[in-house]
């Protein structure tokens, strides 16, 4: 039976099913089960795990998942964050610490509104959570279009992984229920193409910049981050990516480095 056009299991809703929760190297199976439950309570059922422990779906996880065993059992396992987010046109990373302005930052309610708006438009969205002990690395944050932070007591600012997922999932669910906040004007956009397409674009850009000896292949981490921020903000569509890569190829042809 459906209520007001909504499926009984809200996980079957096409908008909510475009949002995936990605856990990067979670170490405790109990937390993975707790995340599955937190998700299903809020109608989110796509769980992706990057390098989980061997017993990620074992007894400890199952006990915590309870009625969300299906979410746990259907979880995708990846060996790199890149593949877990490859189809997504919006990737938001949850961070317990406010980081430097190298990454755009959003309060959790605005992040949820942005994520839900993108899913409503038909885009795939990833909400990425870090390791229990050390969170997400700078390299992983570079793959995100913006960071989201849940305001907490500074004396104890880091939430348990499943609790952090619960708060974010609840905010997304409020949007789905129609209680959303307006999408942030402080975040000017994210690419309309998938993370996989954007990674191909960055590879091409940085290869060209090395070929013209603008940058040293081993250095320039900050420069690379700045370029990512710039192009993420631009919100490129596929046509624009094609034009820019066409320009890169023309430069490479002139340099004589195109195969
Ligand atoms: N000690 C780690 C915290 C890890 S908590 C650190 O300082 O980074 C595990 C994960 O839960 C984090 O990587 C983050 O994704 C999420 N999380 C915990 N507290 C959060 C908060 N206040 N806001 C946003 N995400 C949070």
Out of 2-11, 194-203, 221-230, least confident range: 2-11
Q: How far apart are CA 39 and CA 19, in angstroms?
A: 11
- In order of 124, 200, 214, the CA distances from 16 in angstroms are 10, 28, 43
Q: How far away, in angstroms, is 105 Cα from ligand 1 center? A: 14
- In order of 58, 169, 205, the CA distances from 64 in angstroms are 10, 17, 45
Compute the average pLDDT of residues 105-126: 93
Query: Does the Cβ of 98 fall within 6 Å of ligand 1?
Result: no
- For 219, the 3-state DSSP assignment is coil
Helix 221-234 to helix 195-211 angle, to the nearest 10 degrees?
A: 130
Q: How far away, in angstroms, is 92 Cα from ligand 1 center? A: 13
- For 87, the 3-state DSSP assignment is coil
Q: How far apart are CA 174 and CA 168, in angstroms?
A: 10
Contacts of 135 (CB under 8 A, 6+ apart): 95, 96, 97
Query: Does the Cβ of 95 fall within 6 Å of ligand 1?
Result: yes
- pLDDT above 60 (res 80): yes
Pairing outcome for strands 90-94 and 125-129: parallel
pLDDT for the residue numbered 180: 63
Percent of the chain with pLDDT over 90: 74
Query: Does the Cβ of 158 fall within 6 Å of ligand 1?
Result: yes
Q: How far away, in angstroms, is 256 Cα from ligand 1 center? A: 47
Contacts of 101 (CB under 8 A, 6+ apart): none
Helix residue spans in the chain (DSSP H): 29-41, 59-65, 69-73, 81-85, 108-120, 138-141, 161-176, 195-211, 221-234, 238-255
pLDDT for the residue numbered 55: 97
Compute the average pLDDT of residues 86-115: 89
First to last CA, the chain: 59
Q: How far away, in angstroms, is 74 Cα from ligand 1 center? A: 24
| pLDDT bracket for residue 1 (50, 70, 90) | very low
Q: How far apart are CA 220 and CA 222, in angstroms?
A: 5
Range 195-255 has CATH code 1.10.8.590: yes
| pLDDT bracket for residue 170 (50, 70, 90) | very high
Pairing outcome for strands 125-129 and 19-24: parallel
Model-wide pTM > 0.75 = yes
The domain locations on the chain are: 10-176, 195-255
Tokens of 246: 């066409």
Fold observed for domain 10-176: Alpha/beta knot (3.40.1280)
What is the residue with the minimal CA distance to atom 26 of ligand 1? Answer: 96
Query: Does the Cβ of 128 fall within 6 Å of ligand 1?
Result: no
């Amino acid at each position: 039976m459906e209520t007001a056009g909504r499926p009984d299991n809200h996980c079957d809703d096409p908008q909510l099913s475009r949002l995936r929760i990605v856990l990067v190297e979670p170490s405790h199976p109990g937390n993975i089960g707790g995340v599955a439950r937190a998700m299903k309570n809020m109608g989110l059922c796509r769980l992706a795990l990057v390098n989980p422990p061997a017993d990620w779906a074992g007894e400890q996880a199952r006990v915590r998942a309870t009625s969300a065993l299906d979410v746990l059992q259907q979880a995708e396992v990846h060996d790199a964050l890149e593949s877990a987010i490859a189809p997504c046109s919006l990737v938001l990373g949850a961070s317990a610490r406010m980081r430097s302005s190298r990454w755009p930052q959003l309060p959790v309610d605005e992040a949820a509104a942005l994520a839900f708006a993108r899913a409503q438009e038909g885009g795939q969205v990833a909400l990425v959570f870090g390791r229990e002990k050390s969170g997400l690395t700078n390299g992983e944050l570079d793959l995100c279009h913006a960071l989201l932070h849940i305001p907490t007591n500074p004396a104890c600012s880091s939430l348990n992984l499943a609790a952090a997922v619960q708060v974010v999932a609840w905010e997304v669910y409020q949007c789905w229920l129609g209680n959303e906040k307006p999408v942030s004007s402080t975040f000017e956009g994210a690419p309309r193409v998938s993370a996989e397409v954007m990674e191909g674009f960055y590879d091409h850009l940085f290869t060209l910049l090395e070929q013209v000896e603008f940058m040293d292949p081993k250095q320039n981490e900050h420069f690379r981050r700045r370029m990512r921020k710039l192009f993420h903000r631009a919100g490129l569509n596929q046509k624009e990516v094609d034009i820019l890569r066409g320009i890169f190829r023309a430069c490479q042809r002139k340099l004589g480095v195109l195969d």
